Amino acid sequence: MNRYRLNMKKIVFPFLGVLMLVFSSCIDKGNNIQSFGQVAAVVGYSSSGLPVIQTYNDSFVVPELSDYLLTDLNIGDPVLAYFDINFDNQPSTEYYTISNFEYVKVGKGYPEGTPEGKSRYDDFSEEVGDVFVIDMVHNILFLGIRLIVSESQTIEYELTFDPEEEVKDNIPTLYLRVRKSGTGTESLYNLPYAFDMSYASSFLSPYRDASTNQVKVNIKCKTGVNDEGEDEYKLGSYNPYTLVIK
């Protein structure tokens, strides 16, 4: 079960009317210091044992990360990170060292191959406004999910693949479903959630380019149930997506 309750007091990207949301930003603060915000990253260690956050392109040393690993974070956790880089003050020669590090923890689940690609639960029926890829870091797929939700609700996610469905143009389809529980005043948000796609290698491998480990996928989100009781879906923004599955 991929269940997650988000601290939305830390989420800074409510629905903006159109998909103008930039999940990764960079601001020049002068004096050769740049500020980065909402960067998809995974917590880890460098080859020499330094605590780092790993992004799509690089790793960054986080001196205070050791404290967070004792209290709030674990190796392999996905986060949205906020930090500064002072390019004139770099104590580490292995990676850039960052300062003013803050983060939002991102829930993580596991994709499933299910009979007919259907949910195992009848009540995964919340209307999802959209789904789109934020980034992919070391098999961790960060999704942005447009959903009406309150701060007090618990949200559960499913991402499934139908092994019996006909695959066209060598592009398989993944299905995103959501269930929420609890009450409260609801608003429309673009929420982050991550899936460990290494668990999808068994059913995506037939469509993967062996030389690049890349596979193109479509991601559809559930929009409701029709009068006949059948699930209805729509393609997320910017399909198909190119993923790297190792």
Instruction: Name the domain boundary from 44, 70, 105.
Output: 105
Please indicate, yes or no, whether residues 119 and 71 belong to a single structural domain of this protein: no
What's the rounded Cα separation, in Å, for the pair 180 and 157? 9
As a whole number, the mean pLDDT across the chain is: 82
Instruction: Name the domain boundary from 58, 86, 105.
Output: 105
Supply the CATH number for residue 41's domain.
Answer: 2.40.50
Question: Residue 81 phi/psi, 5° resolution?
Answer: -110, 150
Instruction: Kindly report, residue by residue over 117-171, the tens digit of the pLDDT.
Output: 555 555 677 889 999 999 999 899 999 999 888 888 888 898 988 888 889 999 9
Question: What is the domain extent for residue 137?
Answer: 107-244
What's the rounded Cα separation, in Å, for the pair 216 and 193? 20
Q: Does the pLDDT value for residue 12 go beyond 70?
A: no
Q: Does the pLDDT value for residue 106 go beyond 90?
A: yes
User: How many residues belong to the chain?
Assistant: 246
Q: Does the pLDDT value for residue 8 go beyond 60?
A: no
- Provide the whole-model pTM: 0.84
Residue 7 belongs to a domain: no
Please indicate, yes or no, whether residues 54 and 159 belong to a single structural domain of this protein: no
Q: Does the pLDDT value for residue 17 go beyond 50?
A: no
Residue 2 belongs to a domain: no
pLDDT band at 28 (very low <50, low <70, confident <90, very high): low
Joined together, the tokens standing for residue 84 give 């500064």
Residue 9 belongs to a domain: no
Please indicate, yes or no, whether residues 189 and 175 belong to a single structural domain of this protein: yes
Please indicate, yes or no, whether residues 134 and 225 belong to a single structural domain of this protein: yes
Q: Does the pLDDT value for residue 29 go beyond 80?
A: no
What's the rounded Cα separation, in Å, for the pair 5 and 9? 12
Instruction: Give the number of other CB atoms < 10 A from CB of residue 135.
Output: 20
Q: Does the pLDDT value for residue 23 go beyond 50?
A: no
Residue 132: per-residue pLDDT: 92
Instruction: Name the domain boundary from 86, 105, 124.
Output: 105
Please indicate, yes or no, whether residues 99 and 113 belong to a single structural domain of this protein: no
Residue 17 belongs to a domain: no
Residue 246: per-residue pLDDT: 75
pLDDT band at 38 (very low <50, low <70, confident <90, very high): confident
Number of domains in the chain: 2
Residue 7: per-residue pLDDT: 42
Q: Does the pLDDT value for residue 208 go beyond 70?
A: yes
Residue 67 belongs to a domain: yes
Of 187 and 52, which is predicted with more confidence?
52
